Amino acid sequence: MTLPEIENQAEVEIVSAQTRPELDVLQVKYLGRNGVINQFLKGLSIDELKNQGGPVNSVKNKIRAIFLSKYAHLNSQETQKKIDVTTPGKLPPIGHLHLLTEAIKEIEDIFTRLGFVRRRYPEVETDWYYAEGLNIPKDHPARDDQETFYLNQNVVLTAHTSNGQLHEMELMKKPPIRMINIGKTYRRQASNTHNPMFHQFEGLLIDKNINITHLIGVSNYFAGQYFGPDRKTRLRPHHFQFTEPSFEVDINCHICNGRGEIDCKKFQVCKAGLLELGGAGMVHPNVLKNGGLDPQKYTGFAFGWGVERVIMMKHQVTNNLRELYTDDLRFLNQS
Amino acid sequence: MDIKIPHSLLTQFLETKASPETIAHDLSLCGPTVDQLHHRKSDDLYDLEIITNRIDSASAFGVAREAAAILPEFGHKAKLLNNPYQNQLTDLGQLPSNQPIKLQILDSSLIPRFTAITLSNVEIKPSPKQTQDWLELSGQRPLNNVIDVTNELTLKYGQPVHVFDLDKITNQTMVLRESKKGEKILTLDGRTHILKGGDIVIEDGAKNLIDLCGIIGGGLSNVDDHTKNILLFVQIYEPKHIRRTSLYTQERTLAAQIFEKSPDPELVLPILIEGVRLLTLRANAKISSNLLDIYQKPKASKPIILDFNWLNRFIGIDLKAQKINSILNQLGFTTKLINQDKISVSTPSWRKNDINTKEDLAEEITRIYGYFRLPSILPANIIPNTQTDPLLKNEYQARSYLSNLGFTEIYNLSLVSQELFASTNLELDPKLVLNNPLSSEYQYLRTSLIPSLLTNLANNRGKTEPPLKIFELSHTYHSNNKTLPNETSTLTLATYGLDFLESKGHLEALAKHLHFDLHFNPLTSPSKPFIQNQSAKIYSDKTLLGIIGVIDPVTTTNFSLQETTIIIDLDFNKLNLKIDPIHHFTPVPRFASIFEDITISSTKPVGNLLSNLQQAHPFIINVSYLSSHQHNHTFHLEFNDPKGNLTQDQVNKIKTTIKG
């Protein structure tokens, strides 16, 4: 091909290109390392090169210019195309973690920041870890409150996560102990608002010189982290066989701000401005002994709170625990 | 236990200007919780929760005693009134010398204290209005002046009291003993109980059982409109006997709930004296016998030594000796100074069962001082050097990734019914059945999550459009030869309206995400509830993890599922062990790869062709499956030489060595 032929052919091809990729291919074809122009130069003798240098460069520049203007044309065509940006996007599949999974993770993370280690201990448990080792002798009236399912005389479905206390003492052998045991628990109770199964998280901290103010500190830390910075807990006297003293831990209601207003009756977990979080206490010396620790040397505290309870208190999804166990995807897919 | 106390009754024992609202608030913070304060027309009513170890506070007087200690801490003056412990036998004047009844106690351990006295010439009529109001407010029905006195005494002092019609006790003889198996007793509520034996009972001179002691009176000797002579009866019974009988006869009476918690034997005589006083006043009764009081005073318990330094370390604040002493004294403890740092504390009779250790004393002092006044401090100790089980982390990773793949997580109950498992042809474990189920719906611990998930799919029919993708990660339970069953972390996925390969792809994605090896072998024997020809065993290396397959039509019909239903059932405990906690990376190839598609004609399973290709030549570094048309299967291969650029000739040569 002669130079003018090259120029002509290039122009025809470039002008008829419809897309940028086509143009990219043409650019390689004419201007690339092994392109038409370089092939043409290779075919020339040294003498011819001397004469043809100028014309070749000029053709090269012309072709380059045609490319530039064609690129500009295609670009402007492309940017003029209008997208209706209000049309909904094409969704990738969207799945949902259960509220319980999210809450358990959040609880775990909060206590992990305080140096607690997450554990899981048996749901199906012997009477020793569940009751007797926790200072609840057989046929003690305190067993009334437990509403326990039995597999046989010695094996129960745990009604609380406190069975983890002795296991943790045995595992760690000596303090420091900081455990958060999260698991399934079972109660033999039938009502429209109770489930025979629910979840609890059990905190246990044992060391030298641990006192009640530390339990209050950890409770407040959890309340502030999980529910919000302005939330505080308050202890009331209670009784559990495995702690001495024992407490009921309340948290101020965020709706009525702890004032216990009439309006707040709608939110049924609120009692006079306070919500019951759950039980807590200083580990009973007999429990420490049963776990192989010296109660003269060590003290500690424990608490066992309901996962569903804190979800209901925080998200106000429902006042009814059973509803958290629905399998209706129209509810679960809101998570 | 929950009790109701009218405010006007409380103020019989408590002098204070504090309002009922204040009393309710302060009690809840430092003593028994007031669940609710009701404002009634003529009175206010406290709903109180009495914790099991504080039976001494299950009465108007008991609550007043608490309030008298608590209110001053809030700056309200309060004084305890009409303390029954001050009642003296001499208050009754000269007593006749005859015994009230002929009594025989066959086993004195059954009854730590027995008191009785007779009264004659009683006039049965209604009680005064005040008594009737108090009883009604606290949830009891006023009957007549005599019976109401017994209920009023219990309400006021927490000591159950019983009255017999003396003339209905044959020969005025009582034998107190353990029941024999099969004995029958008619009780006041009209029920006839056939006793199991070992219950505390009283028989009269005609060998009739006239009292189911400590629980409910007998129907043979009850007071009625014609009663003239009565036996006033105040006792303490052995608590375990009471609890056992009360539970199995389902007579959870107030008396039983009190007696099973060991009330104070020292209060028995004062209450009998109070009873005589009220009956004299209201029924015009005359004392007609001497007092019978059989009482083996328990040994005095040892005083507890309380070290102030220990106490303040345990509470976390600095309480002064004076404060500690005044709180303890207000609650009825007596304290004796040992030295500057220590006191010796003696427990009052009504707290003997409850207070045994210095921790118990710490509770008393701190709660009255007010837990809510303590500072909030985060403990700054050494953190334990220990790790959480990787299983827990991996469970969360799996859940989280599956939700990213479009699956919705479900929580089902671990307790299932036999019917549910029958409808899937899956086996329950006969050793994992509850002894005391609530209903047949929640009777067994589940051995598989599959039936629950099929139920979930069925429940969503007509509500959410297919395709549905759900999963649950929970324990399944399997008995073994040990005391406790295995609790196996189990991951089960269910898809509805996806085909087999789509469903399987999700599992393969999970394996890639969690970095565990995965392969599948066709089922070689039937496995319920899967279709054998459309199911596979899932392996990681040589470990069987579970099964994937299409659910058979018999089962899907049971659940009314019309679309293709696929279950992926995995033992997550085993899967967890296949996840390397540290994932290793390989460097990217330094030289350019060549990509080629090849089609192999073969009757072998695609999985075998794939693994053959993967092992065919070291320069084949990636193989992916593209499509099949009958026995022709197309794969996409990446060729790469780690030492230099490959040429097309080399690739062609390798391709000729590949066989089907």
B16-71: pLDDT as tens digits? 999 999 999 999 999 999 988 999 989 999 999 999 889 999 999 999 999 999 99
Judging contacts by C-beta atoms under 8 Å, the chain A residues touching residue B445 are 124, 151, 157
Tell me which chain B residue has its CA closest to the CA of residue A148.
B436
Judging contacts by C-beta atoms under 8 Å, the chain B residues touching residue A277 are none
pLDDT at B416: 96
Same domain, A112 and A147: yes
What's the first-to-final CA gap in chain B, in angstroms? 78
CA distance B80 to B45: 19
Which of residues B82, B104, B129 is at a domain's end?
A: B82
Same domain, B123 and B225: yes
pLDDT at A191: 73
User: What's the one-letter identity of residue A289?
Assistant: K
pLDDT at A261: 53
Judging contacts by C-beta atoms under 8 Å, the chain A residues touching residue B377 are 213-214, 216-217
- The per-residue b/e assignment along B214-243, b for 16 or more CB within 10 angstroms, e otherwise, is bbbbbbbbbbeeebebbbbbbbbbbbebbb
- In chain B, which among 244-273 make CB contacts under 8 A with chain A? 244, 260-261
Which of residues B371, B401, B422 is at a domain's end?
A: B371
Same domain, B217 and B348: no
- Site from B262, B388, B454 to mutate, A interface, most A CB atoms within 10 angstroms: B388
Count up the domains in chain A and report the number.
2
Q: Do B371 and A190 touch (CB under 8 A)?
A: no
pLDDT at A274: 78
Same domain, B460 and B511: yes
Same domain, B457 and B547: yes
Overall residue count recorded for chain A in this entry: 335
pLDDT at A189: 83
Same domain, B430 and B360: no
Judging contacts by C-beta atoms under 8 Å, the chain B residues touching residue A176 are 381-384
Under the banding of pLDDT at 50, 70 and 90, the label for residue B245 is very high
With contact defined as beta carbons under 8 Å apart, do B416 and B443 qualify?
Answer: yes
Same domain, A113 and A75: no
pLDDT at B581: 84
Q: Where are the extended beta strands (E) located within B442-511?
A: 444-445, 468-478, 486-496
Domain membership flag for residue A286:
yes
- Site from A151, A198, A250, A275 to mutate, B interface, most B CB atoms within 10 angstroms: A151
Beta bridge partners of A45: none
| Token code pair at residue B118 | 């007779």
Same domain, A305 and A250: yes
Per-residue pLDDT of chain A (335 residues; tens, 9 = 90+): 888 899 999 999 999 999 999 999 999 999 888 888 888 888 888 888 888 888 888 999 999 999 999 999 999 988 888 999 999 999 998 999 999 999 999 999 999 999 999 999 999 999 999 999 999 988 777 776 668 999 998 999 999 999 999 999 999 999 999 999 999 999 988 777 778 999 999 999 999 999 999 999 999 999 999 999 988 898 999 999 999 999 999 988 776 666 655 455 555 556 667 788 899 999 999 999 999 999 999 999 999 999 999 998 888 777 778 888 999 999 999 88
B617-630: pLDDT as tens digits? 999 999 999 999 99
pLDDT at B660: 59
Contacts of residue B218, defined as CB under 8 A and 6 or more positions apart, other chains included, come to B185, B186, B187, B188, B202, B208, B209, B210, B211, B212
Chain A nearest C-alpha distance from B281 (Å): 38
From the list A141, A172, A299, which residue is nearest B314 (CB)? Answer: A299
Same domain, B499 and B613: no
DSSP letters, B158-176, are: S---EEEEGGGSGGGEEEE
Higher per-residue confidence, B634 vs A258 = B634
Domain membership flag for residue A88:
no
Q: Which CATH number belongs to the domain containing residue A124 in this structure? A: 3.30.930.10
CA distance B340 to B332: 22
Mean pLDDT over all residues of chain B?
A: 95
Q: A12 is in which domain, residue-wise?
A: 3-80
Tell me which chain A residue has its CA closest to the CA of residue B414.
A197
Same domain, B518 and B403: yes
Q: Do A325 and B413 touch (CB under 8 A)?
A: yes
Q: Which CATH number belongs to the domain containing residue B324 in this structure? A: 3.30.56.10
Same domain, B68 and B108: no
Which of residues A80, A107, A129 is at a domain's end?
A: A80
Total beta-carbon pairs less than 8 A apart between chain A and chain B: 226
From the list A234, A235, A282, which residue is nearest B359 (CB)? Answer: A282
Percent of chain A with pLDDT over 90: 63
Same domain, B63 and B121: no
pLDDT at A267: 53
Same domain, A263 and A292: yes
- In chain B, which among 464-523 make CB contacts under 8 A with chain A? 464, 468-470, 475, 477, 483-485, 487
The DSSP code for B90 is G
Count up the domains in chain B and report the number.
5
Same domain, A56 and A122: no
Q: B208 is in which domain, residue-wise?
A: 89-295
Domain membership flag for residue B461:
yes
Average pLDDT over residues B188-209: 94
Domain membership flag for residue B376:
no
Give the phi and the psi of residue B578 in degrees, each rounded to 5: -90, -5
Q: What is the ipTM of this complex?
A: 0.87
Which of residues B47, B67, B82 is at a domain's end?
A: B82
Residue with token string 């066709």: B522
Q: Do B362 and A245 touch (CB under 8 A)?
A: yes
Q: Do B376 and A176 touch (CB under 8 A)?
A: no
Average pLDDT over residues B512-523: 94
Same domain, A175 and A250: yes
From the list A97, A117, A124, which residue is nearest B384 (CB)? Answer: A117
Domain membership flag for residue A104:
yes
Same domain, A282 and A166: yes
Q: Do A214 and B377 touch (CB under 8 A)?
A: yes
Q: Do B409 and A177 touch (CB under 8 A)?
A: no
Contacts of residue B87, defined as CB under 8 A and 6 or more positions apart, other chains included, come to B269, B270, B273, B274
B469-479: pLDDT as tens digits? 999 999 999 99
Q: Do A196 and B315 touch (CB under 8 A)?
A: no
pTM: 0.86
Domain membership flag for residue A91:
no
The DSSP code for A96 is B
B304-350: pLDDT as tens digits? 999 999 999 999 999 999 999 999 999 999 999 999 999 999 999 99
Same domain, B435 and B481: yes
With contact defined as beta carbons under 8 Å apart, do B172 and B102 qualify?
Answer: yes
B485-500: pLDDT as tens digits? 999 999 999 999 999 9
